[in-house]
């Protein structure tokens, strides 16, 4: 879709407000003109949103490397890296209007009142193609559906990891994605799943999700699969140390422009370890012939039916106050999933 123009005082069209990153560590709410939804489009009013702290921190600090400016564009992003840019990808809302002339085949005319998840930047009212508004399944709480993008990433990581029944699994890094990976892994029959984190207060959350907590000083050993999500050199070293003979280490962190040191000395080669990258932009090759990104997102939404996942919410901010609080939310190490409330 084409970029929206900034609304001016002499143009009283329907408008939405969006969060823009206008400079390093600086956020602002901007009004934008909205078009009438056309054929095959819907107008969505946001109700809940989520801040994805890891990626959004890198964006807010201007740390997206130039080589990734195109690949890291979020759906419906406007502006360009480093700044100004409208970014984000977790919004739950209600369809309030379908496109005119779309016909029954467009999926827009009969969708008014439907609750949907959209991979869309933080914005209170927006127009998207009808197929970008994914219906929230029955049994999934609307406020919890904002975790869909994180759950989709976690599901992709588990596929890349190839976790099987009976495996001993360590997830190094107790952020939202790491905790969701552990949640999925712990539900695979016979697995012994650990979350390794420097923050002992995460222990109760880990237990609620069915896994075991471990401090970096008490690493589980001889793991069949290790997933690293902490985006730190120390975490990557712990992941390598926890891996058993010929184990797979899945690097799910994104470091932006940083150049982490990888400890490939010691027992790395004698243990015949392998490190593979995981990124949600692509479905793993073994599934790509059957699984589209849409099917994967729908599966992620179904996985959010479990009320235990509410332990992942660490705070909530009204959208009207978001520009003033955004940078502090990203900077707080206690932040897991910080929800946005649209009034």
pTM summary value: 0.93
What's the pLDDT at 270?
A: 97
User: pLDDT digit string (tens) for 250-295?
Assistant: 999 999 989 999 999 999 999 999 999 999 999 999 999 999 999 9
Closest by alpha carbon to 37, among 132, 93, 102? 102
32 φ, ψ (degrees, to nearest 5): -140, 140
What's the pLDDT at 3?
A: 44
Domains, the chain, with CATH or none: 15-135+306-341 (3.90.180.10), 152-283 (3.40.50.720)
Rounded Cα distance, 250 and 156, in Å:
11
Per-residue pLDDT band for 1 (boundaries 50, 70, 90) equals very low
Query: How is residue 59 written in tokens?
Result: 């964006």
| N- to C-terminal Cα separation, the chain | 26
């Amino acid at each position: 879709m084409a970029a929206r123009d900034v609304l001016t005082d002499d143009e009283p069209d329907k408008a939405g407000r969006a969060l823009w990153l206008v400079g390093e560590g600086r956020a602002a709410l901007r009004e934008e003109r909205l078009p009438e939804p056309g054929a095959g489009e819907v107008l969505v009013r946001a109700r809940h949103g989520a801040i994805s702290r890891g990626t959004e921190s890198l964006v807010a600090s201007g740390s997206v490397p130039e080589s990734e400016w195109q690949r890291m564009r979020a759906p419906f992003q406007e502006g360009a890296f480093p700044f100004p840019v409208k970014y984000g990808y977790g919004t739950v809302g209600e369809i309030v209007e379908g496109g005119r002339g779309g016909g029954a085949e467009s999926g827009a005319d009969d969708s008014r009142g439907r609750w949907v998840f959209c991979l869309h930047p933080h914005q209170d009212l927006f127009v998207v193609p009808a197929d970008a508004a994914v219906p929230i399944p029955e049994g999934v709480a609307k406020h919890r559906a904002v975790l869909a993008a994180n759950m989709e990433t976690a599901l992709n990581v588990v596929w890349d990891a190839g976790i099987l029944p009976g495996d001993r699994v360590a997830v190094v890094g107790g952020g939202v994605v790491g905790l969701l990976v552990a949640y999925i892994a712990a539900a695979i029959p016979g697995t012994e799943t650990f979350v390794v984190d420097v923050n002992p207060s995460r222990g109760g959350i880990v237990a609620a999700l069915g896994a075991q907590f471990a401090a970096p000083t008490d690493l589980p050993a001889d793991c069949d699969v290790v997933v690293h999500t902490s985006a730190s050199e120390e975490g990557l070293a712990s992941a390598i140390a926890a891996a058993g003979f010929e184990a797979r280490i899945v690097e799910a962190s994104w470091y932006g422009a940083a150049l982490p040191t990888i400890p490939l000395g010691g027992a790395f080669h004698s243990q015949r370890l392998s490190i593979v990258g995981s990124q949600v932009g692509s479905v793993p090759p073994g599934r790509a012939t059957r699984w589209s990104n849409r099917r994967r997102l729908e599966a992620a939404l179904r996985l959010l039916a479990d009320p235990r996942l509410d332990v992942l919410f660490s705070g909530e901010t009204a959208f009207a106050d978001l520009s003033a609080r955004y940078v502090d939310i990203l900077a707080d190490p206690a932040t897991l999933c910080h929800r946005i409330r649209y009034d």
